[in-house]
Structure 1
């Protein structure tokens, strides 16, 4: 097992003597660099490739398993939330999923580059003479001259691969730290905003305004520091001085330290930025942050769509909406339908004399509409006992319209229900079927019939065809 050699302090007696007195007009000499520093880092560098591969291999494939669990937790929780709490859940979900995917892809790429580097070293050790151009088959003089001018040597390829792997590994860690800092600061801001907003009547609006103000502070500080720094630089370029602006800039930078952990992030960021193409690095860095934030949205949309590669030109989505959707039938629902909170019946074929109809309630979509339509006291259902159930049914009856074969179905006989199997609450009713003839029948549910064509409160229609087969009763 490899052990790190014990640290030997540098021999200060070998340092050049420093005179106790200085000649007039002379300046103190700069501190002499520790001559052993490069040696110590060189010894440590001999093992960093193994440590990089160990860390990347340990994390890369483990991170690919995390987004599924995060998605399941979010899908179960987000249906119960509204306002700033739903936004907090969405931010946490999108941040975690994006971070996991971006880190996993970057670490897998790092493993590939580092593996390529290992292969190059193996070739170098076995073929120290390098490429023998004269022995390459099926290559003429012209092609050989072309490739010799463009193909690098094994030494150069090894150095380039090593640099690329180390740079990618450090950039990946910097990205992870940045997203973690953004997440922690966001959680703190959301907690403060929600706590202050709860003290006011319109809590969600107040909390959102406070949250926007808290987000605007670090952005304004960053923009202000950049603008003042450029103003100071222009004045110095013209030969002037601006001590007041410099003091203001330093104070703003000191305040900015409360929002950005400079000691943790800047050593890596500035090292990479100063040794790479600065503009390309920053575009790539911030682009990765934006992509990470978008991955969660893509996954959520993809979970609600039948297929991301929608090439159906005959059985289109509009045709299916007028036909049958598995999300409407509890016996046909799968994990793919978990984000489709649609009205449901037990199955597509009904044999009993009653049809159970479940109408889901979604706080994010219906709370604001119910406050306007139902005119509930204090903006919510604050009743107790049987009155609470009555108010809930009466309110949702104004939001939903139900018809069976074109005939209105009153909702006054429905009851509030909590479905732990579906992780939803809503209304449930049992529609009598004895008067119906065997065969196909159609349920039509309309949500917010007076709503427009766009937006969260747009009119929504749900068609649920089913087949009544009383002769198949057992």
Structure 2
């Protein structure tokens, strides 16, 4: 088999000339693409916030505080970190290319470039040093053009990497959150063991095939190539453009420079992810804070005024985590209560209140009516609301959808007779079994200041 000649041109001379003409005119497209990409990337974090909130409330069926909860948060944080990296990359390219355009225009005005011997307020020694260190203007414009092209290509590496990471994480999260709860516990445990074993075999195999002595053997070389190319499925159809860009860099940069660049990128990316994880934690739960105080805690609901528990402090489009009332300061003699109904709570209610089976002879409208009455009766029997020391064991709850995101839940209006001027509390609990102890959902403190 003949070896490839790296010097042999890949295109005929006429096509090479056409490619050079296209390359010479690519700067204006770079500016347009960079500007459009900056605008698009700025929209992504808000869209990711909305998608993550929707997933947490409507898709995540189990929340156990372990890996099941951590995986979506890591996916969300990594994609937001990639958005910020992309923004910096395209912003850098946009600024550099705009500066390059300015220099090209300056060269058109002064074609001879810089005359270092004519620079005023400088000594001949300074003029010589500047001429040696900076060089002519046209050479600097050419170097800057090459750097702009490199930054632009690297920015698209980040784009492809973001697509690959986002697609993989979305697939894993959907499988673990939607399909995993559908599998019986015994079968799920066996499948998890098989997947762990498969992953361990993959790691061991890839490590062994990466050894120089193994890769030197013809069979080992082929197996190593098949194993490395098997990872192309993780790029979601973007493997070919990614390979062209990355292999171009690999084939022109020294090995040490490649390792140093990968190390720097990895450290910077990990730092971005770490900062974003902390930011995401504080966004998901406002109680999370890394600025601690000695005599300050947010762990007890009855002693914490959580803005997410008051309708007048919630931004439009923001989900109610557990429950909410109209305000932290109530002047009316009634309390409007909204209790959220997330998907993970539905997992519990499905177990404690199995759906009855009605006759097949009933019409669809009659079946829906009976189901609505039955479900209303079930949640009325299980939900408990207490205002101070008065307990509403069977609150008259109505199904409701709140806000622009149409958050599902229950709503009721209480007219308590035991409100006292000053601080009061409202406790919401769930008691699936009449003999069991009620499970506290939340406790909301508020102040009652009646109008006089």
TM-score normalized by structure 1?
0.68
SS of residue matched to 1:347: coil
Alignment of 1:382-461 (within 5 A): 382-383=355-356, 384=371, 386-397=373-384, 404-405=387-388, 407=389, 409-415=391-397, 417-421=399-403, 423-437=406-420, 439-445=421-427
Match of 1:271 among 248, 251, 254: 248
- 1:182-193 map, 5 Å: 182-188=165-171
Match of 1:71 among 49, 72, 83: 49
Q: Deviations over 1:410-442 (max 9, x none)?
A: 4333526333337444454544333445x2231
Structure 1: distance between partners of 2:355 and 2:138: 76
TM (normalized to structure 2)? 0.71
The reply to whether residue 331 of structure 1 matches residue 312 of structure 2 is yes
Q: 1:392·1:416 contact (CA, 8 Å) conserved in 2?
A: no
Question: What is the SS of the residue equivalent to 2:423?
Answer: strand
Q: How far apart are the structure 2 equivalents of 1:29 and 1:273?
A: 17
How far is the alpha carbon of 1:164 from its aligned partner?
1.5
| 1:124 equivalent in structure 2 | 107
Q: CA deviation at 1:250?
A: 3.5
**1:43 matches 2:18:** no
Kindly report which structure 2 residues correspond to 1:320-399, keeping only aligned pairs within 5 A, or say none. Answer: 322=303, 324-335=305-316, 338-339=318-319, 341-364=321-344, 366=345, 370=348, 378=351, 381-383=354-356, 384=371, 386-397=373-384
Give SS of 1:418's match. strand
Paired with 2:84 and 2:78, the residues of 1 have a C-alpha distance of 10
Q: Give the structure 2 partner of residue 243 of structure 1.
A: 218
Q: Is the 8 A contact 2:322 2:441 kept in 1?
A: no
Structure 2 runs not aligned, ≥5 long: 357-370, 431-438
SS in 2 for 1:249: helix
Shifted more, 264-273 versus 289-298: the winner is 289-298
SS in 1 for 2:20: helix
Consecutive unaligned residues of structure 1, counting only runs of 5 or more, are 1-26, 237-241, 449-457
Counterpart Cα distance in 1 of 2:284 and 2:353: 30
Query: Is this contact kept in 2: 1:193–1:210, CA < 8 A?
Result: no
Listed one character per residue, the Cα deviations across residues 26-56 of structure 1 (whole Å, up to 9, x for unaligned) are: x999796445554333222211212222221
Post-superposition CA distance 1:192-220 (Å, at most 9, x none): 66776465224996699499659x75x97
Q: Distance in 2 between matches of 1:127 and 1:250?
A: 54
Counterpart residue number, 1:15: none
CA contact (8 A) 2:214 2:220 kept: no
Shift in CA distance, 462/193, structure 1 to aligned 2, threshold 3 Å: closer
- Kept in 1, the 8 Å contact 2:427–2:440? The answer is no
Structure 2: distance between partners of 1:126 and 1:321? 72
- SS class of match (1:121): helix
CA distance in 2, matches of 1:273, 1:183: 25
Show the counterpart of 1:133: 116
Q: Tell whether the 8 Å contact from 2:383 to 2:429 is kept in structure 1 after alignment.
A: no
User: How much does 1:114 deviate?
Assistant: 0.7
CA shift for structure 1 position 228: 1.6
Match of 2:87 in 1: 104
* Contact 1:344/1:359 (8 A) holds in 2: yes
Q: CA RMSD in A?
A: 4.8
Matched residues in 2 for 1:35 and 1:414: separation? Answer: 82
Q: Which residue of 2 aligns with 1:80?
A: 58
Match of 1:154 among 131, 134, 137: 137
* Alpha-carbon distance between aligned partners in 2 of 1:462 and 1:426, rounded to the nearest angstrom: 17
Matches of 1:189 and 1:77 in 2, distance apart? 13
Q: In structure 1, what is the Cα distance between the partners aligned to 2:178 and 2:301? A: 45
Cα pair 1:416 1:425 within 8 Å, conserved? no
| Residue 255 (1) aligns with residue 230 (2) | yes
* Residue 172, structure 1, aligned to residue 155, structure 2: yes
- Decide whether aligned partners of structure 1 residues 350 and 40 sit closer, same or farther in structure 2, where only a CA change above 3 A counts: closer
3-state DSSP of counterpart to 1:164: helix
C-alpha contact (below 8 Å) 1:303/1:339 kept by paired residues: no
**SS of residue in 2 equivalent to 1:79:** helix
- 275, 280, 290: which one aligns with 2:260: 280
Question: 2:364 aligns to what?
Answer: none
CA distance in 2 between counterparts of 1:360 and 1:432 reads: 21
Using the TM superposition, give the Cα deviation of residue 252 of structure 1 relative to its aligned residue in structure 2, in angstroms.
Answer: 2.4
Write out per-residue CA displacement over residues 302-339 of structure 1, whole angstroms, 9 at most, x where no aligned residue. 64587999989899776998474443332343249x25
Q: Distance in 2 between matches of 1:38 and 1:361?
A: 63
Distance 2:211 2:108 in 1: 52
In structure 2, relative to structure 1, the CA distance for the partners of 1:404 and 1:100 (3 Å cut) is same
Assess if the C-alpha contact under 8 Å between 1:330 and 1:344 holds in 2: yes
Q: 1:443: Cα distance to partner?
A: 0.6
Whether the 8 Å CA contact 2:311–2:325 is kept in 1: the answer is: yes
